[in-house]
Chains A and B, each alone.
Chain A
Amino acid sequence: MTGRPYRSAYGPAQRKEDARFIRGRGTFVDDVQLPGMLHGAILRSPLAHARILSVDPAAAEAHPKVKAVITGETLAARNLAWMPTLSQDVQAVLATDKVRFQGQEVAFVVAEDRYSARDALELINVEYEPLPPVIDAERALDPGAAVIRDDIAGKADNHLFDWAAGDQAATDAAFAGADVVVTQDMLYPRVHPAPLETCGAIADLDEISGKLTMWSTSQAPHAHRTLYSLFLGLPEHKIRVISPDIGGGFGNKAPVYPGYICAIVGSMVTGRPVKWMEDRSENLMSTAFARDYHMHGEIAATRDGTILALRVKALADHGAFNGAAQPTKFPAGFFGMFSGSYDLRAAHCQVTGVYTNKAPGGVAYSCSFRITEAVYLVERMVDLLAGELDMDPAQLRLKNLLRPEQFPHTTPTGWEYDSGDYARTLRVALDAVGYPALRKEQAERRGRGELMGIGISFFTEAVGAGPRKHMDILGLGMADGADLRVHPTGKAVLAVSCQTQGQGHETTFAQIVAEELGLSVDDVEVVHGDTDRTPFGLGTYGSRSTPVSGAAAAVVARKVRERARLVAAAMLEASADDLEWTGGRWQVRGDPAQGKTLAEIAMAAHSSLDLPEGVIGHLDADTVYNPPNLTYPYGAYICVVDVDPGTGVVQVRRFMAVDDCGVRINPMIVEGQIHGGLADGLGMALMQAITFDSDGNCLGGSFMDYLLPTSVECPSWELAETVTPCPHHPIGAKGVGESATVGSPAAVVNAVMDALRPYGVRHADMPLTPANVWSAIQGTPVRTDLAFNGWDGRAGTNECT
């Protein structure tokens, strides 16, 4: 019963993953070379909306290195031309009737090498008849607008859905009795997650066994397997989806893309493995985008600054197919969280979704299913209200934030926030950043004509989707499994359904098991990303890994521990009831000399020891975790900017982020996740946007045009924390992966608007590029979703430069 002194496994452990990555020994999809492997490439539409008159692959087929050309017709013959999306819509795998966005998939070439596959694309002759494109979402429902989805029987407009939440009558009544009402239109522009590794796959269909092995950049390998089975008609036990190392996901790798299906069909047709890796332009132009939310917000308050109610109307541009990856019952995602962190009497929102001739998506990019949009809206509205009331925005928030005694708190739109001490977290942020001194400095600088701004954002997230009763994707409940094997020598292997794209699961989940079982982190191996080796579950997105799979890991470890208790009792010849788990082992209560470590118990459990009733042998266990509720991490962010009035250039001088994500298993990894999310938020606020010209040409199709923040735009992030454990999570964790992306854009925009107050600027839409800021200073804010004049007469982004 000897052993090292007990020490918690939680803490800033170096990551197990790093050993391979720092040596260049990771295995990303494009690193995999299979014997006889062929390469695929996709021919894409140059037009946003056009009827396909003919597709002639003959010249491409004649290319000496081409093995197959697959067209929409080829797929239609197999009933595979249209595939289900994750939002109960269908999407063309390869277009048969029309193309509906620029970059849409039209044909697939399979060739001996990647260069030849690309060459052959040039040889495919496609005849198009151009149709008028619908680009401005605000005109998608105009009478006479071209009907994009005429593939849907009886479809006569571009309407997708209407959805509402909250009590409209109570909200209207609160507004009627309010002293102050502030309204504002705002856009959360179309952005793209742009993971550094693009999407891709290798499909290998073994003709003899009938087994499909699918290497792919998937955040949800099990869900993809089920979808392949249902769509392709392959039996599910004959499909193995492997997601090896993934070069970032951020939501971009949750959906199934046409290229994956094409690779599979390519392997069916040629009998050989087929690799398809998209290039950067394909990634930006055709895979899941995010946001594109046009919001009209109203906030009602008393003159003394008590917020009464919020009312929102939103127009959601979902592109040409509804490919939003979100729980089925939530067509607007979790936008219903828009009442934010405040104690409101009432709230109501109404969202209308529309089709446009743009790439499909909507929910992707670290958004927690649209809480980004919700937080941005409410935090902008609160700042606008502060301006109207001439109140300090920090004071207005402190006055209205939910109080600790109000938890658990059911919001006006029905979300049950589990825990929080919001004001404390905001005060920590205000103290840490030196808020009063900053305001003083700002006043002095304003006196000198300098534009300094201080922006606050307070956010509440809802992550860890989710309770099976309410949440499913394609009918698959959002519960996740975990298997834990303990070998005779006490080394453990945890298999989980979620999949890491850089989050460090191999380390964090090993820490969870190690903590529960008194093991060394090095003695726990985490297996993930391979459907043949892991239990079913919905995957990694929506910050759900630690809330769901992390919980499963703790629960399954506790099952092992309880079984070990019975074995330990037999070993110690004591009653199991007399044992206590302390110091990472089972010992006789009050007698530290009588104890057994898990390694000792594991060996006994595999031995010929007479085991007590109820223990067959071994310690292995499995579980499925069905979350009782979402988890609700929150935080207070403060951004300090300097704006050059002559050029509109925004420099983020400081950014203070105080996150409360409950218990932190590995604080180093948590902080890294926050850093990354802050950079994303800064990017969205200041530079990232995918815009379109009036013909539907995508103007964000490369990193030359779609600007991402680099090391010089980002400040040195300042972090602090509060810890309010989640009351219903086995280890009190809440998830953190998307918090910073959700919370930070509003802080940056609030800071820039604060800086522009001397010019009387109330609002300008993201991204606050120098040109857009300069336009706002001139009193002519632009539409940042368009590169042409909108129907309302406002100039598009590129019109003002």
Chain B
Amino acid sequence: MQITVTVNEAAYTREVEPRLLLIHFLRDDLGLTGSHWGCDTSNCGACVVWLDETPVKSCTVLAAMADGHRVRTVEGMGMPGRLDPVQEGFSRCHGLQCGFCTPGMMLTARWLLDHNPDPTPGEIREALSGQVCRCTGYENIVRSVQWAAQYEAAGRDGGPSGGGPGETGHGPTATGVTG
């Protein structure tokens, strides 16, 4: 069957098997390998992407169900030359180690901050509780999301006071500090 899916603002029309999973469509057909496959059973969340405005586990969504819809993946986070504050927060606060769960975590975190700009640590944990990280013990993921929330709050209050995402994008330095 033919489907047309808008992924990160670009429309893709492809001939697919009806049973093709969205995660495999994104990874194998479109080459967007930032989203990962981890469990098959909707438990781990490595495959989380946005379907329209909602994070979904793309291992349990058929590509056909995304026909005519918009999908947002990690490759669509931030803007050219400018990271999403969530991405910046994950790097600054060491919210990732192996990096496998990171795209899904960041996409859920982005959704959370869009709906709750000032979440408590408990609310962050609740929002991420459908996703598994095997490396970080979650502590620094929570701090990463808090960092992004604080950065965005500073922006709303009249501009960040520095230390946020640079216009030229991310570049790791030897002097960065943990959050």
- Report the minimum CB–CB distance from A529 to chain B (whole Å): 13
B38 pairs with A196, CB closer than 8 A: yes
A247 pairs with B140, CB closer than 8 A: no
* B131 on interface, CB distance cutoff 8 Å: yes
Question: Could you say which of A10-18, A138-146, A162-170, A452-460 contacts chain B?
Answer: A10-18
B172 pairs with A16, CB closer than 8 A: yes
Which of the residues B39, B96, B121, B176 comes within 8 Å of A21, measured between beta carbons? Answer: B96
B40 pairs with A26, CB closer than 8 A: no
Question: Could you say which of A356-364, A425-433, A667-675, A692-700 contacts chain B?
Answer: A667-675
By beta carbon, the residue of chain B nearest A21 is: B99
B176 pairs with A13, CB closer than 8 A: yes
- Report the minimum CB–CB distance from B80 to chain A (whole Å): 11
Given contacts A247-B99, A668-B178, A672-B97, contact A677 B137 (CB under 8 A): yes
- Report the minimum CB–CB distance from A570 to chain B (whole Å): 30
* B17 on interface, CB distance cutoff 8 Å: yes
For the complex, give the distance between the alpha carbons of A23 and B87 in Å. Answer: 8
Question: Given the complex, which residues of A lie within 8 Å of B35, measured CB to CB?
Answer: 24
Question: Given the complex, which residues of B lie within 8 Å of A280, measured CB to CB?
Answer: 38-41, 44
Question: Given the complex, which residues of B lie within 8 Å of A668, measured CB to CB?
Answer: 94, 178
For the complex, give the distance between the alpha carbons of A13 and B173 in Å. Answer: 7
Render A654-695 as a binary contact track against B, CB cut-off 8 A, 1 for contact: 000000000000001101111111111000000000000000
A522 pairs with B174, CB closer than 8 A: yes
Which of the residues A27, A198, A522, A675 comes within 8 Å of B140, measured between beta carbons? Answer: A675
Given contacts A22-B170, A23-B74, contact A679 B91 (CB under 8 A): no
For the complex, give the distance between the alpha carbons of A704 and B101 in Å. Answer: 18
Render A503-544 as a binary contact track against B, CB cut-off 8 A, 1 for contact: 110010001001000001110000000000000000000000
Given contacts A703-B43, A712-B126, contact A33 B98 (CB under 8 A): no
Render B125-143 as a binary contact track against A, CB cut-off 8 A, 1 for contact: 1101111111111111110
Render A17-56 as a binary contact track against B, CB cut-off 8 A, 1 for contact: 1111111111110110100000000000000000000000
A703 pairs with B75, CB closer than 8 A: no
Q: Which of A114, A195, A280, A669 has the most CB of B within 10 A?
A: A280
Render A701-718 as a binary contact track against B, CB cut-off 8 A, 1 for contact: 011100010111010110
Which of the residues A25, A115, A504, A708 comes within 8 Å of B134, measured between beta carbons? Answer: A708
For the complex, give the distance between the alpha carbons of A627 and B43 in Å. Answer: 42
For the complex, give the distance between the alpha carbons of A675 and B73 in Å. Answer: 27
B139 pairs with A716, CB closer than 8 A: yes
By beta carbon, the residue of chain A nearest B131 is: A710
Considering only residues 118-172 of chain B, those with a C-beta below 8 Å from chain A are: 121, 124-126, 128-142, 170-172
By beta carbon, the residue of chain B nearest A674 is: B137
Question: Given the complex, which residues of B lie within 8 Å of A196, measured CB to CB?
Answer: 36, 38, 44, 46, 98, 100-101, 132-134
For the complex, give the distance between the alpha carbons of A203 and B119 in Å. Answer: 46
Render A168-191 as a binary contact track against B, CB cut-off 8 A, 1 for contact: 000000000000000000000000
Given contacts A520-B174, A675-B139, A676-B136, contact A14 B92 (CB under 8 A): yes
Question: Given the complex, which residues of B lie within 8 Å of A17, measured CB to CB?
Answer: 99
* A382 on interface, CB distance cutoff 8 Å: no
Which of the residues B27, B91, B132 comes within 8 Å of A710, measured between beta carbons? Answer: B132
For the complex, give the distance between the alpha carbons of A716 and B124 in Å. Answer: 12
* A194 on interface, CB distance cutoff 8 Å: yes
For the complex, give the distance between the alpha carbons of A114 and B37 in Å. Answer: 14
Q: Which of A245, A502, A708, A710 has the most CB of B within 10 A?
A: A710
Question: Given the complex, which residues of A lie within 8 Å of B94, measured CB to CB?
Answer: 14-15, 668-669, 671-672
For the complex, give the distance between the alpha carbons of A702 and B38 in Å. Answer: 11
Which of the residues B17, B91, B132 comes within 8 Å of A22, measured between beta carbons? Answer: B91
Render A103-134 as a binary contact track against B, CB cut-off 8 A, 1 for contact: 00000000000110000000000000000000
* B55 on interface, CB distance cutoff 8 Å: no
* A197 on interface, CB distance cutoff 8 Å: yes
Question: Given the complex, which residues of A lie within 8 Å of B101, measured CB to CB?
Answer: 196
- Report the minimum CB–CB distance from A674 to chain B (whole Å): 8
For the complex, give the distance between the alpha carbons of A33 and B40 in Å. Answer: 21
A12 pairs with B178, CB closer than 8 A: yes
B98 pairs with A502, CB closer than 8 A: yes
A281 pairs with B40, CB closer than 8 A: yes
B174 pairs with A521, CB closer than 8 A: yes
Given contacts A19-B170, A195-B98, contact A676 B106 (CB under 8 A): no
Q: Which of A15, A281, A504 has the most CB of B within 10 A?
A: A15
For the complex, give the distance between the alpha carbons of A247 and B96 in Å. Answer: 11
- Report the minimum CB–CB distance from B17 to chain A (whole Å): 7
Given contacts A24-B73, A710-B129, contact A9 B100 (CB under 8 A): no
Given contacts A18-B91, A28-B36, A712-B126, contact A23 B75 (CB under 8 A): yes
By beta carbon, the residue of chain A nearest B124 is: A711
- Report the minimum CB–CB distance from A334 to chain B (whole Å): 23
Question: Given the complex, which residues of A lie within 8 Å of B171, measured CB to CB?
Answer: 19
* A102 on interface, CB distance cutoff 8 Å: no
Given contacts A23-B74, A520-B174, contact A676 B132 (CB under 8 A): no
B137 pairs with A502, CB closer than 8 A: no
* A279 on interface, CB distance cutoff 8 Å: yes
For the complex, give the distance between the alpha carbons of A711 and B176 in Å. Answer: 26
* A632 on interface, CB distance cutoff 8 Å: no
A248 pairs with B172, CB closer than 8 A: no
For the complex, give the distance between the alpha carbons of A449 and B20 in Å. Answer: 55
Question: Given the complex, which residues of A lie within 8 Å of B33, measured CB to CB?
Answer: 24, 27-28, 30-31
- Report the minimum CB–CB distance from B26 to chain A (whole Å): 10
* A733 on interface, CB distance cutoff 8 Å: no
By beta carbon, the residue of chain A nearest B86 is: A22
By beta carbon, the residue of chain A nearest B78 is: A23
For the complex, give the distance between the alpha carbons of A673 and B98 in Å. Answer: 11
A25 pairs with B140, CB closer than 8 A: no
* A246 on interface, CB distance cutoff 8 Å: yes
B170 pairs with A717, CB closer than 8 A: no
B134 pairs with A250, CB closer than 8 A: yes
* B50 on interface, CB distance cutoff 8 Å: no
Given contacts A197-B38, A708-B132, contact A502 B97 (CB under 8 A): yes
Question: Given the complex, which residues of B lie within 8 Å of A629, measured CB to CB?
Answer: none
Question: Given the complex, which residues of A lie within 8 Å of B27, measured CB to CB?
Answer: 30-31
Question: Given the complex, which residues of B lie within 8 Å of A679, measured CB to CB?
Answer: 136-138
Given contacts A115-B19, A712-B126, contact A502 B99 (CB under 8 A): yes
A19 pairs with B91, CB closer than 8 A: yes
For the complex, give the distance between the alpha carbons of A714 and B138 in Å. Answer: 8
- Report the minimum CB–CB distance from B110 to chain A (whole Å): 12
Render B19-52 as a binary contact track against A, CB cut-off 8 A, 1 for contact: 1100010011001111111111101101000000
- Report the minimum CB–CB distance from B148 to chain A (whole Å): 12
B40 pairs with A501, CB closer than 8 A: no
A-B contact pairs, 20 of them (CB 8 A): A12-B178, A13-B172, A21-B96, A22-B91, A24-B35, A25-B34, A115-B17, A197-B36, A245-B99, A250-B134, A502-B135, A674-B137, A675-B138, A675-B139, A676-B97, A676-B133, A676-B137, A711-B138, A711-B142, A717-B137
Shortest beta-carbon contacts, A-B, top 10? A24-B34, A502-B98, A21-B99, A247-B100, A14-B176, A675-B137, A703-B43, A24-B74, A502-B97, A679-B137
Known contacts A18-B91, A196-B98; 4 additional CB pairs below 8 A are A30-B36, A196-B101, A669-B94, A679-B137
